[in-house]
Amino acid sequence: MNSLGRDPVRVELAHHFSVGLREGFEYITDLSNWPDYWPDLLGIEPGSRWNEPGDRARLALRLLGRKTEMAMTLERIEPDRLVEYATTQSGLPEAHHERHFADDGQGGLDYRLVVEYVPRRGARGLFDRLVLRRGIRRALGKTVSNLEASFTAQAR
């Protein structure tokens, strides 16, 4: 439980890719590749950076049929291992994200995506626990599918 007295919602998805750890990490963390695999991404604001803790990126996304902006702050980056960042979006709770990277021991990449947030109070909290959770799970699934397609296309 957190300091607000409400249990966080944690959504996780793990996937194996037939791409090397370093290659996968570099591709996924490179801002210029995000339009290739990020679901419903409309654009990345010029001046966005994503290399070291404290860097910020602003994205335009389509969410529930509407254009919205997501502000991201890179909190931690350990090459070929871990990326942690925070996001804020109007009308949604703040979220903490983790991206875990591991060598599978056979030249492939084990990738785990995590999103955690504290639901708001009242009716908005019900939305956060049910609708938002499903939306995040769907977005993570689309991300993995899009990455699989990108890595397959690169291998050709």
What pLDDT digit, counting tens, does each position of 119-136 carry?
A: 999 999 999 999 999 999
What pLDDT digit, counting tens, does each position of 60-80 carry?
A: 999 777 899 999 999 999 999
CA nearest neighbour of 17 among 136, 154, 144, 140? 144
Q: Write down the mean pLDDT value for the chain.
A: 94
What pLDDT digit, counting tens, does each position of 4-25 carry?
A: 457 999 999 999 999 999 999 9
Contact 48, 58 (CB under 8 A): yes
Sorted by where each begins, the domain ranges of the chain are 9-37+74-155
Domain 9-37+74-155: CATH superfamily, name plus number: START domain (3.30.530.20)
Q: What is the pLDDT of residue 4?
A: 47
**What residues are paired with 89 via a beta bridge?**
70
Give the CA-trace dihedral at 56, 36, 65, 74, to 10 degrees.
-20
Q: What is the pLDDT of residue 102?
A: 98
What pLDDT digit, counting tens, does each position of 80-89 carry?
A: 999 999 999 9
